[in-house]
Amino acid sequence: MLELLTEKFSSVVEKLKRAKRLDEKTVEEALKDIRRALLEADVHIDVVKQFINDLKEKLVGQEVIKGLDAGETVIKLIYDELLNILGEETTLNKSEKPPTIIMLVGLQGTGKTTTAGKLAKWLKSKGYNVGVVSTDVRRPAAGRQLCTLAESINVPCFIDEEEKDAVKLTEKVIKQAKEKGLSHIILDTAGRLHIDEELMEELVKIKEKVNPAEVLYVADAMQGQDAINTAEEFHKRLGLTGVILTKLDGDAKGGIALSVRKVIGVPIKFIGVGEKIEDFEQFHPDRIAQRILGLGDIQTLIEKMQTAIDEEKAQKMAKKVMNAEFTLDDLKEQLMMIRNLGPLENIIKMIPGLGSQLKNIKIDEKQLVKVEAIINSMTPEERANPHIINSSRKRRIARGSGTTIVDVNRVLKQYKEMKKMMKKMKKSGKMKLPFNMPRFPF
Q: Pick from 61, 86, 111: which residue ends a domain? A: 86
pLDDT score, position 187: 92
**Residue 183 belongs to a domain:** yes
Are residues 318 and 268 both part of a single domain? no
Query: Using alpha carbons only, what angle is made at residue 38 by residues 263 and 79, rounded to the nearest 5 degrees?
Result: 85
**Residue 293 belongs to a domain:** no
pLDDT score, position 377: 92
- Which among 131, 176, 184 has a CA at the least distance from the CA of 153? 131
Are residues 182 and 255 both part of a single domain? yes
What's the mean pLDDT when you consider all of the chain?
78
pLDDT score, position 8: 78
pLDDT score, position 442: 31
- Whole-prediction pTM value? 0.67
**Residue 436 belongs to a domain:** no
Are residues 25 and 170 both part of a single domain? no
What's the domain range around 308? 302-428
From CA 252, how far away is CA 360, in angstroms rounded?
18
Are residues 238 and 335 both part of a single domain? no
Are residues 181 and 65 both part of a single domain? no
Are residues 273 and 316 both part of a single domain? no
- Total domain count, the chain: 3
Are residues 242 and 372 both part of a single domain? no
Q: What is the pLDDT of residues 288-311, one digit of tens each?
A: 887 777 665 445 544 555 555 565
Are residues 259 and 406 both part of a single domain? no
Q: Identify which has the larger pLDDT, 17 or 263.
A: 263
CA atoms within 13 Å, Cβ hemisphere of 312:
0
pLDDT score, position 197: 84
**Residue 289 belongs to a domain:** no
What ranges in 341-390 are assigned the alpha helix state H? Answer: 344-349, 366-376, 380-384
Residue 184: pLDDT above 90? yes
pLDDT score, position 90: 84
For the chain, the distance separating the N- and C-terminal CA atoms, rounded to the nearest angstrom, is 25
Q: What is the pLDDT of residues 241-290, one digit of tens each?
A: 999 988 876 555 667 888 888 888 899 999 888 888 888 888 888 888 87
Phi, psi for residue 54 in degrees, rounded to 5: -65, -40
Q: What is the pLDDT of residues 113-172, one digit of tens each?
A: 999 999 999 999 999 999 998 888 777 788 888 899 999 999 999 887 777 788 888 888
**Residue 288 belongs to a domain:** no
Are residues 249 and 119 both part of a single domain? yes
Residue 439: pLDDT above 50? no
User: Please, are residues 182 and 99 in contact by the beta-carbon 8 Å criterion?
Assistant: yes
The CATH number of residue 327's host domain is 1.10.260.30
